[in-house]
Each structure stands twice: as C-alpha cells, then as structure tokens.
Structure 1
C-alpha cells in the first residue's frame, strides 16, 4: 500500500476557517434599536443640554438671592460666633455636648466621626450578602439608617438652638465712626474687657454696638456699674474718673 492511499479528509462546517473568524467584540449599538444610541453626538449632546439648563438655573438663583456678606473679619474679636456651612452643622452640634467638647474635643472631632465613617466604609465588608433588598441586609441597612438619623437630628438641633438674632447682629455690615484708638476712653475700654464683648471697633459682638446708643453718659455709667440684659453687674472695675471718661467717649460715638 502506497503512502497516502486510502486516507480521506473530512471538513466540519461548525469550525470556521482562520480567514473567516471574527474577533470577540460586542455587537454594534444599531442591533439594539430603542435601547442604545451613539455616544457622539446623540448622548453627549443631551448631557450638555441638561447641564446647560441646570447651570443657567443656578446662575439665576445666585443673581436673585446673592450670598449674604458679613462685616470684615476681625481675628481679635473674641465675641464672634462662627457658623460652618450646612453640611458640617451636625459636627458643629456634636462639639457642643460636654462629652465631645472642652477637654474631650479630640473625642468629638476625631474619634466619634472616625468610628462613624469607618463603620460605613466597612459595611460592605461586614455584610457580604448578595441580597439587594434592604430588609434582607439588616447590618448594612441598620448602619446606614443610624448614620442618617444621627446626621439629620444633629443638623436639626444645630439650626433650632442657634442664636440667629445674635448671628445677624454680629455679622451685620455697619459703617460706624472711625475709632480713635489712642483716645483715653478707648484705652480704658480695652483695659476693662469691653472689647471682648463689643469688638475692637466697638461695633458689637456678644454685646451690642457702642455707637449711636442714644444714651447719656450718666445712663451708660449706670449700665456699666449695674449691668443690663445679658451684661452682668460689676463688669467695670475702674475708678469713677475712668468711668466718666469712658462714658463720655461712648456717648460721643456717632456713625457716619
């Protein structure tokens, strides 16, 4: 028998020839009518149009309701009460509690927020369930609801307990008189602690502004000795001569 005789070659139509094989690529979007579209320009154009509408609307809101401005910042004004933006109000409120403020500020500023946000970051690793319904994932759902409730409650408490009237007074832009800081009355005010509550420019802080009071020197002296409102009695510790100089100085302060 000669070599090659009696041998037959059979081809299988299910196996594509090398020249007919196609790379493993997804089908074209046109094969899914109504479900997909071209990224350029169809999809991108829609995104730009939506973004333009929101941008124009945002600009209109900023023009109609401009951000409120306060007076020039005074780093020496110890009576100023700062207020963070709304998304940090819950942390601001947390620092008001005794267990998270004062000597325990580190607990309120770092430890408690660190544990809370760390728990949220670890939630996917703690609860590895494949369920998608929240009721079937009690650990992750419970942690998220607890965090959300804490943020909402602390934010609400911060807004409800903040002294908004005082905040409006301390941040109000006023054009007061030019204070002569070399005047004897101003020096007496600075040495008796008046600037801590009324500001370096005497324009108000924790206490009211000291110009345009409409009071006579005798009335101002009465308040300095016996107090009024939130001002306790006995704040002024100077002599009668110093009090007279101070009250005459304050009574003469008039805004422009």
Structure 2
C-alpha cells in the first residue's frame, strides 16, 4: 500500500492558511532594461499615458466646436467633399492617375492592402527581442516608410484643396422663403426650363445661386440668361425671348418675407 493512498484532507475555514504568498510581482532584476512586471508597473504606465491623452482629447472637444456644414444635397454636383484629417492621405492617393479612374481598385484596395499586410507581417519577419529601433532595422524601416507616405499625402491634400471655396459651399445660411403663385405664367416658364434644376423649386438655390432678392432688373436677368455670369456659363437659356422676358420680370419681383 502506497503512502497517503486513500487519505482525504479537509480544510477548516476557521484556521488561517500560513503558506499563502502575498501578491508580490516577480523579481526581474536579472534582466535589467529588458522587461518588467505587468502588474502594477507596466499597466500603471499604460493607464497614466492613456489618461493624459484622454484628458487632452476632452479639452480639445470642449474648446473647439464641431465644424458643421449645411444639410447634404445629393443634387449639388459642384460641392467638393473632403474627408476627416485621418483619411486625407487616402483621399489624395485616389487623385493620382495610377490610382483613380479605371485604376481605382488599385488605389482603394490593392495599395492599402499591401501596406497593411506588410505592417501586419513585420512582427513575424522580425523576431528580435531588442527594443532599440536601430537594432531592429526591418520594422523601423517599415514604420518610417508608412509615416513618410501618410505625412506626404496628407500634406499634399491640404495644400491642394480649395478650403475657401469649400467653406463657402458648406456654409450654413438662413433659409429665405418667398411667396409666389405656382399658377402664374412666370413660374410655369421657370418650371418647364432647365433653370429649376440649378436654382431649386422655391428659388432657394442649389447648384446655382438663389433667385430671391437678387436686386437685379429684368433686363439684367435677361442678359445673364444669355451671356452667363460666374459659374453660370453662356447659352443656357433655350427658350424664346418672349418667355425669357416674362420669366425675368417674374424673378425681379421675388422678394423675401419680412
């Protein structure tokens, strides 16, 4: 019969354990600068750094209001969209000939996929335990290349974007309303022309400017319809001169509600 076979040990909750070890991290003094205890040393540092960044983001959120723009209009093809800053590099990449148009899949999927795949494979290609960047040339080179590409593309996107024009296009403006008779001859001519596609059903504007409170005379409106002005090109009016005269007089009388 083997010693201890068949014996059972019963614990007593009234007796405190004498061999219970305190929750003390292991001694890593044999590996100076190589590693440290996860709890509490490493985790505490992570929490402290995270708290600093979180507080910084909260301060920026409170101090800087969100840049809101006017309500999205799918019919406005002249609006120049721009993504948030962290997507500007991708936005700029899709502007190049080799990554846009028929090659759009290259800029949208293939190139980003290769870049992300390379970054994901770096830990498997470099198994060194060194922490100093110059002793780990492969991951350091990959990270520097990725940072340089993102920095350059972001810079080019910011530099080449027409921010002043975009601000005007996205500006929130007070909606101006006007009373008009939809059965009048002037509105019927307007509704049957190409003008309504740019200036809106209620003359509020869209692709084109608002036609309310223009301050223009009927003669000036006729001249603009023939010769164009600003972004409005010449020769857009396809109707008769008689209809244009009626329409111009109608638009001249469009005044906003007081």
Please give the TM-score of this superposition, normalised by the length of structure 2. Answer: 0.66
Q: How does 1:153-232 map to 2 (within 5 A)?
A: 153-174=152-173, 175-178=175-178, 182=182, 193-194=194-195, 202-204=203-205, 207-232=208-233
Tell me the CA shift for residue 230 of structure 1. Answer: 3.5
Describe the shift of the 1:98–1:196 C-alpha distance in structure 2 as closer, same or farther (beyond 3 A): farther
Q: By how many angstroms is 1:88 displaced?
A: 1.0
Superposed CA deviations along residues 97-123 of structure 1, whole A, max 9, x for unmatched, are: 222222222222111211111111112
For 2:129 and 2:52, how far apart are their aligned partners in 1? 39
Q: Quick one: distance in 2 between partners of 1:28 and 1:101?
A: 59
User: Kindly tell me: are residues 136 and 251 of structure 1, through their superposed partners in 2, closer, same or farther at Cα, counting changes over 3 Å?
Assistant: farther
2: CA distance, partners of 1:179 / 1:126: 71
Q: Tell me the secondary structure at the aligned position of residue 110 of structure 1.
A: helix
CA distance in 2, matches of 1:181, 1:157: 50
Gaps of 5+ in 2: 1-16, 29-35
Q: 1:148 to 1:116 in 2, by over 3 A?
A: same
SS at 1:234 equivalent: coil
CA deviations over 1:14-39 (Å, ceiling 9, x no partner): xxxxxx9957x67536x99xx99x97
Mapped contact 1:77–1:200 kept (Cα < 8 A): no
Paired residues for 1:41-190 under 5 Å: 51=51, 55=55, 61-174=60-173, 175-178=175-178, 182=182
Gaps of 5+ in 1: 1-19
Query: Which range is displaced more, 207-216 or 57-66?
Result: 57-66
Q: Secondary structure at the match of 2:98?
A: helix
Would the aligned equivalents of 1:84 and 1:92 in 2 still touch at CA under 8 Å? yes
Counterpart CA distance in 2 for 1:117 and 1:181 is 60
Structure label with greater radius of gyration = 1
Please tell me the root mean square deviation across aligned C-alpha atoms, in Å.
4.0
Q: Tell whether the 8 Å contact from 1:177 to 1:253 is kept in structure 2 after alignment.
A: no
For residue 133 of structure 1, report the CA deviation from its aligned partner. 2.7
Q: TM-score, normalising length from structure 1?
A: 0.67
Equivalent residue number for residue 233 of structure 1: 234
Name 2:24's counterpart in structure 1: 28
CA contact under 8 A between 1:181 and 1:187: conserved in structure 2?
no
Compute the displacement of 1:151 (Å).
0.9
1:186–1:87 CA distance, 2 compared to 1 (3 A): farther
Task: Decide whether the 8 Å contact of 1:79 with 1:205 is kept in 2.
Answer: no
Q: Rate the CA distance shift 1:53–1:128 in 2: closer, same or farther, 3 A.
A: closer
C-alpha separation in 1, matches of 2:165 and 2:242: 33
Deviation per CA, 1:190-234, whole angstroms, max 9, x where unpaired?
765546655666555555444333222322332232223343322
Q: Counterparts of 2:210 and 2:238 in 1: how far apart (Å)? A: 20
The number of residue pairs the alignment matches comes to 224
Higher relative contact order (CA 8 A, sep 6+): 1
